[in-house]
Every structure is written in C-alpha cells, then in structure tokens.
C-alpha cells in the first residue's frame, strides 16, 4: 500500500481573539499530499478562522502549523506556497483579467514570456480562453469564480484553499462548479482544503471531511463514515436529516428511546445513557400496534421524490421519508431495522424538554405555569403596550411558533412520592447504581424519559413526581 | 522568520500624532489660558468676568438672536427650494442643483462685497439696520448649506412612501405633513447645525457690511487684536461649550461630512 | 402646488443669490466706482487686476497655499483613515472623535487655538508660514479623512488579503491594490481641501505672516480701506472667478452627460 506523506499538519491549534472569543481550540489535523479535505460546519464554527490560519492571515494563539514538516506558524501570507480562492472572489477591480492572473507571478519577478504562457494555459484550464483583456466588471459571477481559481492556480501552489467559493452562485451553477472543481483537483493533483457549510457539497466533493462546531473538531472521516457512523448528536443532526433521541440501554442489544424498546446492533452496557439516531428514510410504517411504537401523523409534505411525514408519538416527534403518502390524523405503527439504528454513548445526561409560552407570556409545561418571566429568557425582549412581545431585534415573538427549550441536570431534579407535587409524573423504568448515587430513568406520563440522580434507593416501577426548581433550569429559545 | 511585521494599523500613527498635537493640544492651551492671568497664576476672573459683564452677556444674547433668526430665515427659504428641487421631475435637475451650489465656490468675501454694494444701494446707510443686515448677510452666505442637506435627504426618500400615502387616501398636503416632513428631519438638523454655529461666530460678514454690532466671534477678534490671549481663550471656551451642547442637542455626529457634502 | 408657483419660487431664490454677483459683474465693466451710478464701458478694472503686482501676488499666493495645504491634508487624512480603519475599535473611534473636532468647531476657535499654541506658547514666528500651513491643514485633513473613509468601508476587505496571498508584500498590496480602490475618495478629499483653504478667512487671519494675504483676508481689508481702484479691481476678480466656476460646472456636466450616454 502506498503511504503518502503529510503535506500539512495542524498541531493543537487554538485561536482566541482580542475580545476573548475562542474561535478555534485544540485543532489537530493531518492532510496528505493531493487530498481534498473539507471543513464543514455551521457559520461561526471556526472553519474559516482555521483556513485563515493556514493561509497566514491569522496567527494561531496556540499550536503549530507544519508544511512539509517545517513550521510556518508565523510566516506571513506572502511567503507561503499556499493560495486562496476567496468567498467573494476578491478580484482586483482596477486590473483586467490578465493583470489579475499575472499579479502573483509578477511579485515573483517571473519573466514576461513565461507569465504570458502560464496565463494562457490557466485560462484554458478554466475554460475562459481569450479573456485576457476583459475587465472584471464585465464577467458573470461564475466567470469571476473561474478567474479567481485561475489566479490562485497559476502560482502552482502546494495547497489551494477555497473559502466557500460557491456560496454566491445559484444552485445550477453551483452543481456544475462542484463537478468541475472535483475534476480539476483530480487533474492537477494539488491538495485542496475547502470550507463550506453545505453538507451536500462536502459529501459530493471531499476525500476527507472535518466536521466542526463551536471551534472544535466533532469528527474527521470519509464522507461515508460521517454519514453512516456519526460520532455524536451534532454530526448526526448536521449531516443529512436525522431523528435524534435521548435514551438508555435496557439490556443486551436493546435500547429504549422514543417511548419504545428497540433492538439494535451496538453492544453497550445496560444502563448507559445513549443518543439514538434514526435516518428518516430508515423508518418503516406498520399497522398500528404491530410496530415498535405507535403514533399519529401530524403533517405530510410532498417533496418531489418522496413524502416527508411527521408522526407524533407521545411527546416525541419522528420524521419519516417514504414514497407512500399518508393523511394527517392517521394512526400508524413504526419500526426500524436494528442495523439502521445508530447508537452513541451520551456525553451529557442533561434532560431537555420544550415548554410553551402561554397567552400571558408565562412558561407553561404539563399544565403548570413556571415561575419565571419570558422577557428574561428572550434576550432584549420587551412587552409592548399592545400586549405583544418584541425580541431584541425588534421583531414580534409569535407565541404559537416559539418554544422555550428547558434543560436541567439530573442531580438538580428531586423525586417525591406525592406525584401531584412534581412538575411531571411518571414511573421509574430503570435504575443503575453509579458508585455514590443511583441514576434513575423516569418514564413520564407524557412519554418522555427523564434522568434523575439521587442518593437514595427507590423501587422500580414506583410512581413519582419530579420536582424541578426553576432556578436550576437553563432556557433556550427555539423557533 | 520575519520579526517585525509591517502593519496597516501603523499608517494611522502620523495622523493620530497630528491630531493630538494640533487638535487636542490647542484645546488644552485654551483651557490653560482661560483660567490664568497675565502673570500665569490661576484665576477664575476671566470666567466670572464673562458672566458678570453686561457687554459680553449682551453679545452672547445678541449672537444667539442673530443665529436663531438667521437659521429660521434660512430654513424657511431653503426647505421649499429643496423640496421643489428634489421632487421635480426635470431632466436637468442635476444642473439646477449645481446652480445653487456654484456660489459657494466663489470666495465668500467677494460674494459679501457684492451683497454690500446692493444693500448700500437699497438702504443708503448700512449702519441704520445692523440686525437686519447681519441676518441678511449671514443668510446670503449660508443659504446653500441649508438647501443641500435637505435636498439630499428628500431626494433619498423612497418615492414609493409618498405614493403609498397617496394610495391610502392622503392628499398632497397630508402626504407632505405626515410623510415627507418627518422623514426629512435629519436633513433639517444637518442644515441647522451648519448655519446656527457659523452665524454666531462668523463676524467677518458683519465687519464687511460696516456693522458695528458684536457677535461672539467678534469678541475673539478684538481680544486677538489686543493680544489678550487670556480673555480670548475664555470666549473660545464658552463657544466650545455652546458647540458641545448644540451638537449633543442635534444628536451627536449626525451631520458627519455635512459641510464637505455640501461643497462637493 | 402649481407648477408656475414652484418655478416662480425657485426663480426668486436664484435672484436673491445671483443678483448681487451679476450687478457686480456688470459694473466691473464700467469706469464708475459706485453701484447704481451711471458709467461707461471700460476694461480698466481688468487691466488693474492683471497688472497690479500686489493683486497678482495675492492671487498666486492663495492658490499655492491652497494646493500646498491640500497635499499635506490629503496625505495625513488618507493615512489616518487607513490606519483608523485597520486599528482596534477603541483606537479607531478615538481617532474619528478627534477628527470630528475641527469639523464641528467654529473656525474662529480653531484658528485662535492654533495661534496661541504655536505663536504664543512655542514662539514660532508667523513669518515661517508654519502656523498658517498647520492651521489650514488642521481644518482640511478631517474632511479628507471623512471622504476617504466611506471608500475604504465599501472596499472588499479581502482584496488586500488576496494580494498578500498572491505573494505581494504588505506595502505592495497597499500601494498596488488598496490605494487604487480609494482614489476617488482621495481625489474628492483633495478637491475639498483646496476649496476649504481658498474660502478660509479666520484661520488665515490668526496665523498668517503680516506681509502675506489670501484672497479672503485681502478683500476683507480692502472693503475697509478706501483705495477705489483696488476696490473695483476686486469686482473684476469676482467676475473672473464667477466665469471660471461657470466654465468648470459646464465642463463637468457635459462630461457626466457624455458618460451617461456612453
């Protein structure tokens, strides 16, 4: 087997800005010569900052960047054999196409004849022969894009960095350019590092994907790995559509989530808290009562190739993609093949549930009004005189479409025998001793499982109320 | 590896130093001189002197009156002009606006000379109507500075707002009062601040019109002629205070590049 | 409002603005020194204007001063705007606040302050022209800053980085890529500086050498004086400037009209 050397290595890279914001932390990556690597993540995840550190526009606060084994951590950008294709192309508007492309070569004092030859060649590569004397403003977005690529490639960089280069193009153009970039990569053999927030683009083009969130690498892997074996709930949610549930292992190859007990193929110790991921195309409809769980169809959307059907099962929602239609209100059963359930060990046992905002702008959950004010939860919001609620951006908050996500840690919930005293009622469906405390799973009457840590021993199947102090809750706005 | 990196930030150093040296330092020096006497001792005599001397207080009130009336006259003349220019559908509108701007490129002293000759012809003796002449002179000098910002603001108004108001049943007068006028307030503010303060200080206009009345600027001029730096500095400080209050009242830096915008 | 009323109003305002200038222009071609009096056609005012050494020196001096000040102000203001734009927020807002001071301040106060600082405190002689240059530059540079700044803001910030990325040194990137983008702002800042310097009276009065005069200071003194031939020669000067301004405006609007057609 051929082992290629690493062209670039990022070791424990971190970047904090002057205002203390940590854009990237402990970023480790090795890229092999000729690879097509994509940094994928939502905006603000640190992917562009990482790219800018490789280009030399930002200097890492920590760590080291090695190019061919040599540190280039603090080398200024004009001394790096790396070129960038910018998001909005950054063509020089006061120069024509020839001057734009020749700019880099002129900096290196390349002889005129050679510049001419290379400009012609690279214009040929991007299919824009004869464009030398045109001015930037006469080009379409797609053509500017190609010139930007040509301007970078003409310098024969060791690495080409592309910062969301297709973001400004329309859908059809984008698809075309994806394929073209891919074939250019194969033809030239240059290492590409590509930044995008578009998961489909990343899956289509890359040899290796680096999924990032909040400045940290979530997963590195091939497109197949990332799609089929997401390492955590974030990756599962970000790549493709997913149903994600909190649950617990209830036996050998058995997991309880979404109000049912499913057979699975991941061998994880009983009592472990888990996150289960089910792709919408993997849910199979059955007659009511014949599947693992039952539910009621709440919405059906035709998507051209398939229907997207949402089913309410207890407090849980399952999204299903299927070629067969259904009607809202239909009672259905659902099952999932064991190998289509992807189980991950939950890193965090925090209980998360959604509360409604009632007409008086109080939080309401399970028929109980919580003692807190909505204006404090929604940042910068104000009650207006006409009775509406305005958020920090001055927009009216629609209480029917806004939910408040409440999270509370297991040790902050207390159990009580007097079930009515609790915010939620349910029975103990699982317990496990954790050395100094017991971890309980309470299956609530609403269908959701709550995890509660308690030092005392309670009996299985006891009916309990869960007391959740408002001051221990954390709130987030969901729309 | 390169130790020193040329940084774009360092480009600002010369100008920052210049500002400290020739903007901040003069203000500090004015402060120092305003509160010292000829022997360099600290004193508040200049300050108390200003507020107890009926002459200086009279000048302050008189220049506020001149500035106020000038501003009002300019506003009344300029607003309809700006409104008509901005809402007309003439093809040569740009040229017409230029015609209003052109006088500003003729040196003000020459323009005031011309005005003086005309006033002389009309009034016979300029000294007979000092207040009227002060207001006329200032208005003549500053009118374009009031027209332009208002014109710019009204021009930039979204035409569909007026059409929407008409569509909803407002007549032309109602549309003007409820839509155009409120939305042109920023232009008015900018024009007012470009007329009011100069009208308190631009004493050379009065001088040229053989006007023997004093406005705040004239006080600085006479202290300057008398080499009384301490008294002059106190007047300058009072003016600075008025400018600060006025700028704050008018909403900070809303005028931005108003004077420049008017000239180019 | 009726259309005729609108046109009538505009015409009235234009009359108010232009009648004095036009009357002066007419009388500049006569031999009388009294507006309203009857006179005969004569170009003696123009002959006086273009042959009197004192007048010519004053005009040339004013123009030279304006261009000198404009060059200084343009360099300082442009560098200042670039530096401020790329600096941290605190520094850049400090610069822009200080920059605003000469803009809102009364010229009398600016001129008087510079005079005290340089002449009284530091004992710089007015005859060195330094106080005058510094004074007018302090007035003009902020306006250059203000006209350059929006151009820097409009510029795509990544083109500077693109130049570095392609191997240009920071200086080359600035000179070959950034500066060409903001040339329109620099030029209008320069023109503004020239205009402000030409029109300045107060700063010049407080800082100029006793033997030097700008058009403004000269005309103001001349109106107080009684030298009739000089007084009427200034009418000619006013008319010459008026004609130059008209020509300039005509050329500019013809050019922009051509641009629109092309």
Q: A116 and A97 in one domain?
A: yes
Percent of chain B at pLDDT exceeding 70: 93
Q: C129 and C181 in one domain?
A: yes
B195 alpha-carbon distance from chain centroid: 3
B10 assigned to some structural domain: no
Interface membership of C91 toward A (CB under 8 Å): no
CATH of the domain at A356: 2.40.50.140
Higher pLDDT, C27 or A444: C27
B139 assigned to some structural domain: yes
Q: A191 and A132 in one domain?
A: yes
C140 assigned to some structural domain: yes
In degrees rounded to 5, what are phi and psi of residue A214? 45, 45
Q: A223 and A137 in one domain?
A: yes
C60 assigned to some structural domain: yes
Looking at A345, A376, A392, the residue that finishes a domain is A345
How does strand A6-16 pair with strand A22-32?
antiparallel
B17 assigned to some structural domain: no
How many Å lie between the alpha carbon of A276 and the closest alpha carbon of chain B? 50
Contact between chains at A78 and C161 (C-beta distance less than 8 A): no
Q: A340 and A355 in one domain?
A: no
Quick: pLDDT tens for A234-276: 888 888 888 888 788 888 889 988 888 899 888 888 878 888 8
Residue B97's pLDDT band (cuts 50, 70, 90): confident
Q: How many CA atoms lie within 13 A of C47 on its CB side?
A: 5
Range of the domain at C60: 54-224
**A337 three-class SS:** coil
Note if the pTM is more than 0.90. no
Q: Which of residues 126-155 of A touch C (CB under 8 A)?
A: 151-152, 155
Q: A71 and A50 in one domain?
A: yes
Residue B72's pLDDT band (cuts 50, 70, 90): very high
* ipTM of model over 0.85: yes
Q: C151 and C23 in one domain?
A: no
Q: A378 and A330 in one domain?
A: no
* Chain C contact probe: residue of A75, A87, A90 with most C CBs at under 10 A: A90
C114 assigned to some structural domain: yes
B36 assigned to some structural domain: yes
In degrees rounded to 5, what are phi and psi of residue A421? -70, -25
Residue numbers of chain A with a pLDDT score lower than 50: 1-2
C229 assigned to some structural domain: no
Report the alpha-carbon distance of residue C119 to residue C111 in Å, rounded. 11
Cβ contacts of C250 within 8 Å, gap of 6 or more: none
Pick the closest to residue A248 from A453, A434, A440, A413 (CA basis).
Answer: A440
Contact A250, A258 (CB under 8 A): no
Contact between chains at C166 and A55 (C-beta distance less than 8 A): no
Query: What is the rounded end-to-end Cα distance, in angstroms, of chain C?
Result: 37
Q: C91 and C12 in one domain?
A: no
Quick: pLDDT tens for C117-158: 999 999 999 999 999 999 999 999 999 999 999 999 999 888
Report the alpha-carbon distance of residue A438 to residue C262 in Å, rounded. 83
Predicted local distance difference test score (pLDDT) of residue C212: 94
Instruction: Give the max Cα distance, chain C.
Output: 75
How many Å lie between the alpha carbon of C160 and the closest alpha carbon of chain A? 8
User: How many structural domains compose chain A?
Assistant: 3
Nearest Cα residue in chain C from B255:
C104
Q: Edge-to-edge strands of the sheet including A341-345?
A: A260-263, A254-257, A243-251, A273-278, A341-345
Contact between chains at C177 and A92 (C-beta distance less than 8 A): yes
C73 assigned to some structural domain: yes
Q: Which of residues 1-40 of B touch A (CB under 8 A)?
A: 1-2, 5
Range of the domain at A27: 6-228
Quick: pLDDT tens for C235-257: 999 999 999 999 988 888 888 77
Contact between chains at C192 and B84 (C-beta distance less than 8 A): no
Quick: pLDDT tens for A383-426: 776 667 777 666 777 777 777 878 888 888 888 888 888 888 88
User: How many structural domains compose chain C?
Assistant: 2
How many Å lie between the alpha carbon of B240 and the closest alpha carbon of chain C? 7
In degrees rounded to 5, what are phi and psi of residue A440? -105, 150
Cβ contacts of B69 within 8 Å, gap of 6 or more: B131, B135
A236 assigned to some structural domain: no
Predicted local distance difference test score (pLDDT) of residue C58: 94
How does strand A260-263 pair with strand A293-302?
unpaired
Under the phi-then-psi rule, with left for phi > 0, alpha for psi from -120 to 50, and beta for the rest, what region is A45? alpha
Nearest Cα residue in chain B from A80:
B1
Residue C261 has pLDDT above 70, yes or no: no
User: How many structural domains compose chain B?
Assistant: 1
Nearest Cα residue in chain A from B6:
A76
A299 assigned to some structural domain: yes
Predicted local distance difference test score (pLDDT) of residue A2: 44
Looking at A206, A228, A250, the residue that finishes a domain is A228
Looking at A312, A345, A378, the residue that finishes a domain is A345
What sign does the CA torsion over A90, A96, A102, A103 have?
negative
**What is the mean predicted confidence (pLDDT) over B188-209?**
91
Contact A272, A249 (CB under 8 A): yes
Contact between chains at B114 and C20 (C-beta distance less than 8 A): yes
* Long-range pairs for B164-173: beta carbons < 8 A, 24 or more residues apart: B172/C1
Q: A275 and A223 in one domain?
A: no
Range of the domain at B54: 24-263
């Amino acid at each position: 087997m051929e082992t290629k050397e690493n062209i670039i290595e990022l070791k424990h890279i971190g970047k904090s800005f002057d205002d203390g914001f940590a854009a990237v932390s402990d970023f480790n990556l090795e890229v092999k010569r000729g690879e097509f690597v994509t940094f994928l993540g939502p905006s603000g995840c640190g992917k562009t900052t990482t790219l800018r550190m490789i280009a030399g526009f930002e200097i890492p606060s920590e760590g080291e960047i090695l190019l061919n084994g040599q540190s280039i951590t603090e080398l200024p950008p004009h001394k790096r054999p790396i070129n960038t294709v910018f998001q909005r192309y950054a063509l020089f508007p006061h120069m024509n196409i020839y001057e734009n492309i020749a700019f880099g070569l002129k900096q290196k004092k390349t002889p005129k004849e050679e510049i001419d030859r290379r400009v012609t060649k690279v214009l040929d590569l991007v299919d824009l022969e004869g464009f030398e004397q045109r001015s930037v403003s006469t080009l379409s977005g797609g053509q500017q894009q190609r010139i930007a690529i040509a301007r970078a490639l003409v310098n024969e960089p060791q690495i080409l960095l592309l910062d969301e280069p297709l973001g400004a193009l329309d859908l059809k153009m984008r698809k075309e350019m994806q394929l073209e970039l891919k074939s250019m990569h194969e033809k030239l053999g240059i290492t590409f590092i590509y930044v995008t927030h578009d998961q489909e683009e990343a899956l289509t083009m890359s040899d290796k994907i680096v999924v990032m969130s909040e400045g940290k690498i979530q997963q590195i892997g091939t497109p197949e790995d990332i799609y089929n074996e997401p390492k955590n709930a974030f990756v599962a949610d970000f790549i493709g559509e997913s149903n994600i549930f909190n649950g617990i292992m209830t036996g050998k190859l058995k997991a309880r989530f979404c109000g049912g007990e499913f057979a699975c193929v991941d061998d994880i110790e009983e009592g472990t808290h888990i996150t289960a991921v089910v792709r919408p195309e993997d849910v199979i409809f059955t007659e009511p009562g014949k599947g693992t769980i039952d539910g009621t169809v709440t919405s059906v959307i035709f998507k051209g190739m398939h229907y997207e059907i949402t089913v309410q099962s207890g407090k849980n929602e399952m999204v299903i993609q299927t070629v067969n239609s259904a009607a809202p209100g239909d009672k259905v059963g659902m099952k999932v093949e064991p190998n289509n359930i992807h189980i991950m060990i939950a890193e965090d046992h925090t209980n998360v549930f959604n509360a409604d905002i009632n007409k008086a702008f109080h939080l309401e959950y399970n028929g109980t009004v919580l003692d807190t004010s909505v204006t404090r939860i929604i940042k910068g919001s104000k009650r207006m005189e006409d009775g509406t609620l305005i958020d920090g951006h001055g927009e009216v908050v629609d209480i029917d479409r806004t939910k408040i996500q409440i999270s509370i840690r297991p040790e902050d919930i207390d159990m009580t025998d007097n079930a009515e005293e609790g915010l939620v009622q349910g029975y103990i469906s699982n317990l496990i001793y954790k050395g100094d405390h017991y971890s309980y799973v309470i299956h609530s009457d609403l269908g959701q499982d709550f995890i509660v840590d308690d030092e005392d021993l309670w009996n299985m199947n006891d009916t309990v109320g869960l007391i959740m102090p408002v001051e221990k809750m954390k709130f987030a706005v969901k729309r | 590896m390169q130790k020193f990196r040329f940084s774009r930030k360092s480009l600002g150093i010369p100008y920052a130093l210049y500002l400290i040296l020739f903007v901040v330092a003069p203000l500090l020096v004015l402060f120092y001189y305003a509160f010292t006497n000829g022997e360099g001792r600290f004193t508040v005599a200049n300050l108390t002197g200003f507020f107890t001397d009926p002459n200086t207080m009279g000048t302050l009130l008189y220049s506020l009156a001149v500035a106020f009336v000038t501003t009002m006259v300019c506003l009344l003349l300029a607003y309809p002009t700006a409104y008509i220019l901005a809402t007309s559908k003439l093809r040569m509108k740009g040229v017409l606006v230029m015609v209003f701007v052109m006088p500003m490129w003729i040196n003000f002293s020459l323009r005031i000379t011309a005005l003086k000759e005309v006033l002389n012809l009309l009034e016979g003796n300029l000294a007979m109507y000092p207040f009227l002449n002060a207001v006329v002179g200032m208005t003549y000098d500053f009118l374009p500075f009031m027209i332009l910002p208002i014109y710019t603001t009204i021009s930039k108004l979204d035409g569909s707002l007026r059409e929407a108001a008409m569509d909803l049943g407002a007549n032309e007068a109602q549309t003007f009062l409820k839509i155009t006028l409120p939305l042109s307030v920023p232009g008015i503010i900018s024009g007012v601040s470009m007329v009011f303060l100069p009208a308190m200080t631009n004493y050379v206009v009065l001088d040229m019109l053989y006007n023997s009345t004093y406005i705040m600027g004239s006080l600085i001029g006479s202290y300057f002629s008398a080499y009384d730096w301490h008294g002059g500095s106190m007047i300058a400080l009072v003016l600075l205070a008025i400018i600060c209050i006025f700028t704050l009242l008018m909403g900070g830096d809303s005028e931005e590049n108003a004077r420049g915008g008017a000239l180019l | 409002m009726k259309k005729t009323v609108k046109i009538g109003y505009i015409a009235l305002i234009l009359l108010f603005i232009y009648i004095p200038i036009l009357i002066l222009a007419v009388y500049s071609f006569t031999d009388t020194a009294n507006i309203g009096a009857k006179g005969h056609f004569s170009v003696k005012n123009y002959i006086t204007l273009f042959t009197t050494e004192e007048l010519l020196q004053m005009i040339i001096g004013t123009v030279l001063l304006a261009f000198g000040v404009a060059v200084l102000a343009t360099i300082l203001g442009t560098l200042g705007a670039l530096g401020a734009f790329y600096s941290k927020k605190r520094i850049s807002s400090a610069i822009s606040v200080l920059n605003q001071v000469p803009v809102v301040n009364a010229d009398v106060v600016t001129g008087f302050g510079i005079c005290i600082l340089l002449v009284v405190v530091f004992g710089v002689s007015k005859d060195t022209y330094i106080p005058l240059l510094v004074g007018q530059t302090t007035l003009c540079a902020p306006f250059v800053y203000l006209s350059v700044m929006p151009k820097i803001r409009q510029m795509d910030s990544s083109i500077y980085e693109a130049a570095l990325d392609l191997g240009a040194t920071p200086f080359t990137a600035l000179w070959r890529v950034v500066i060409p983008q903001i040339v329109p702002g620099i030029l209008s800042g320069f023109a503004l500086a020239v205009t402000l310097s030409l029109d300045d009276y107060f700063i010049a009065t407080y800082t100029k050498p006793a033997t030097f005069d700008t058009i403004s200071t000269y005309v103001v003194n001349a109106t107080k004086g009684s030298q009739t031939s000089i007084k009427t020669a200034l009418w000619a000067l006013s008319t010459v400037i008026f004609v130059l301004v008209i020509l300039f405006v005509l050329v500019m609007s013809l050019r922009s009209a051509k641009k629109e057609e092309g």
